[in-house]
Amino acid sequence: MPWLDAVINETLRLYPPIPGGNQHSPVSGTEGRVIGQYYLPEGNQARVHTYSIQRDPRNFSHPETFWPDRWLIASNSPSPLSSPNPSSNLSSKTNKAAAFTHNNDAFLPFFSLDPADCVERDSAIQTMRVLVCYFVKRLDVRFAVGWDPLDWEKERDEGERGEKVGRLPVVVQERVRRCDS
């Protein structure tokens, strides 16, 4: 299960459902609220741009790389893959450890991290686990012929809530089951 959680976390880190982030505002009558080290007076709002924070090299090593191992390394879990770091120019263990940056506080998926945390958080995470397992077990997915996946990052437009949308042609087919005799 750690590897599945790492893949889900890495996907949410690179492609948060609400890239523009969530709004935070003090409850009326409270005279304000402290968020981290900042004071937000009543009547004001703050928005954290999740997409930028989660791709900031000050928070994550190799921020533009899909690298689920980062979550296993940060939690000291064994990795099912042999490469402990996607950067091939880091040769010694000392250099790899020194170059690794993982700020858990900068990981802000779509769940609130304050006392008003999403009550369905655990249920949502479990649902993602089940769907990913079902998807991988039952379906074959590939990009459409002639499609360059790098074009998706270049061609996306930012919507009004910060979400990035664009054409992503994929072919999804039911996986062919083989019966071994």
Could you list the residues known to form a binding site for heme, using ranges.
118
Which residue numbers belong to the known binding site?
Answer: 118
Candidates 97, 48, 62, 94; CA nearest to 76 is 97
Long-range pairs for 153-162: beta carbons < 8 A, 24 or more residues apart = 158/19, 158/20, 161/18, 161/20, 162/18, 162/19, 162/20, 162/21, 162/49, 162/50, 162/51
